[in-house]
Amino acid sequence: MSPTQFEAATLARDIRADALRMVAAANASHIGTCLSMGDILAVLYADILRYDVGDPSWSDRDRFILSKGHGAAILYAVLAEVGFFETELLAQYCCDGSMLMGHASHKVPGVEVSTGSLGHGLPIGTGMALAAKRGGVDYRTFVLVGDGELDEGSNWEAMLFATTHELDGLVMIVDRNGLQGFGESEDVMRLEPLAAKLEAFGWDVMTVDGHDCNQLRTALARDATVAGKPRAIIADTIKGKGVSYMEGKIEWHYRSPNAEQLAQALAELGVDS
C-alpha cells in the first residue's frame, strides 16, 4: 500500500506544528533537530515508503530507521498523522506511563528500532538490506542520520560493509544542518568533502536541498537506484527550519519554547495555536 492521500508540503507543516506542541508541553529538548528533518520525513511518508498502517510489521514494508533518535517527537508526529496511531496520543510525549519516550522507541507502532545512542541505525539498516538482498525481496531500507552523528566510526564500518555487499536497496539520508551537540559540525569533526568521501567509499551520492520536496522525491525514488550501489543523499538543511528565531541556532538543540514562543512559531508555520 502506498499512501497517496497526503501532500508532502502540508504533512511537513503539520508535523512541524505537532512537534512544536509536543516539545513545548513536555519541556523537552531537540526541537531544532525535529524541524531540520520535517520535509525529509514528510516526503518519505507521503510519497516514498511502502507501508500499511493497519499492519506495521507487514513483511514487504519498506524499512525506515531514524538513527538520530533524539528527533523522536517529529517521527511520532508523522506516524500519527499518517494513521499508525491516534494523533491525540501525541500529547502524551514524555509523560509518565506513555509509550512515547523522548528517544525513538520500538514500542511505538511504525518505529522499527529504538535509537537514541548515535551511530546504531546504519549498521542495523545494513543488516535489513542484506536480508532483503539475500532473500530476494524488494523492500528498501532508509536510514536517516545526522551530520554530527557521522562522527561515529560505526557508520563508516557500515558503509564499507554495504558497498562490499552491493546493497542497492539501502539509502542513507544525511541531515546536513551543520550543527551538532556542542558546536558546528565542521569545527568539531571535519566531514568535508563529504560527498567525495562517500563516493570514495563506493556509494552513489546525491546532494539535494533538504527542504525542497521535489528534489527529495526525485532523490529518494526507487528508479533513481544505481544497480549494485547503496545510495547516499546529502540533504542540505537548516536546523530549526520554519521558525525564524530557531533557525541555525544551537541553543534550540536544548531549549523548549515557552507559550509565547510557541504561539509565534505556530503562527510562522501558518497553523492555529
Partner 1 sequence: MRTAFVEQLCALAEADERIWLLTGDLGFSVLERFADAFPQRFVNAGVAEQNMIGVAAGLALSGKVPFVYSIANFPVMRCLEQIRNDVCYHGLDVKVVSVGGGMVYGSQGYTHHGVEDIAVMSALPGMSVLAPADPVEAAWAATAAVDRSGPVYVRLGKAGDPVLHSSPPQLEFGRAVTVREGADATLVSTGAALRIALEAASELESRGVHARVLSMPTVKPVDVEALTRAATDTPLVVTIEEHGPVGGLYSAVLEVIAPLRAAVCVRVALADEPAPMAGSCAYLSERSGLDPHSVAKTVLSLVGGKA
Ligand X SMILES: Cc1ncc(C[n+]2csc(CCOP(=O)(O)OP(=O)(O)O)c2C)c(N)n1
And the C-alpha cell for 138?
524488494
And the C-alpha cell for 266?
505556530
> How many residues sit in the footprint of partner 1 (CB under 8 A)?
38
Tell me the DSSP string of 21-77: HHHHHHT-S-HHHHHHTHHHHHHIIIII----TT-TT-TTSPEEEESSGGGHHHHHH
Per partner kind, with CB cut-offs from 5 to 8 A, the member of ligand X, partner 1, none near residue 68 is ligand X
DSSP designation for 226: P
Does 36 bind partner 1 (CB under 8 A)? Our answer is: no
Does 39 bind ligand X (CB under 6 A)? Our answer is: no
Helix 213-220, helix 8-26: angle, nearest 10:
100
Strand partners, 66: 144
Per partner kind, with CB cut-offs from 5 to 8 A, the member of partner 1, ligand X, none near residue 109 is none
Does 33 bind partner 1 (CB under 8 A)? Our answer is: no
Task: Please name the amino acid found at residue 213.
Answer: C
Least distance (Å) between residue 69 CB and ligand X: 7
Options 55-63, 103-111, 158-166, 202-210: segment touching partner 1 (CB under 8 A): 103-111
Options 91-99, 127-135, 217-225, 236-244: segment touching partner 1 (CB under 8 A): 91-99
- Options 126, 155, 180, 215; binder of ligand X; rule CB under 6 A: 180
Does 117 bind partner 1 (CB under 8 A)? Our answer is: yes
Separation between Cα atoms, residue 200 and residue 208, nearest integer Å: 19
Residue with smallest beta-carbon separation from ligand X: 146
Does 88 bind partner 1 (CB under 8 A)? Our answer is: no
Helix 259-269, helix 8-26: angle, nearest 10:
180
Q: Which is nearer to partner 1, 96 or 223 (CB)?
A: 96
Does 260 bind partner 1 (CB under 8 A)? Our answer is: no
Strand ranges for 115-246 from DSSP E:
141-146, 170-176, 179-180, 183-184, 204-209, 231-236
Options 11-19, 81-89, 115-123, 200-208: segment touching ligand X (CB under 6 A): 115-123
Residues 6 or more apart whose CB falls under 8 angstroms from that of 91 comprise 21, 22, 25
Does 116 bind partner 1 (CB under 8 A)? Our answer is: yes
Binding site for partner 1 (CB under 8 A): 26, 28, 69, 92-103, 105, 107, 114-119, 148-149, 151-153, 180-183, 188-189, 250-251, 253-254
Binding site for ligand X (CB under 6 A): 33, 36, 68, 70, 116-119, 146-149, 175, 177, 179-181, 185, 239, 253
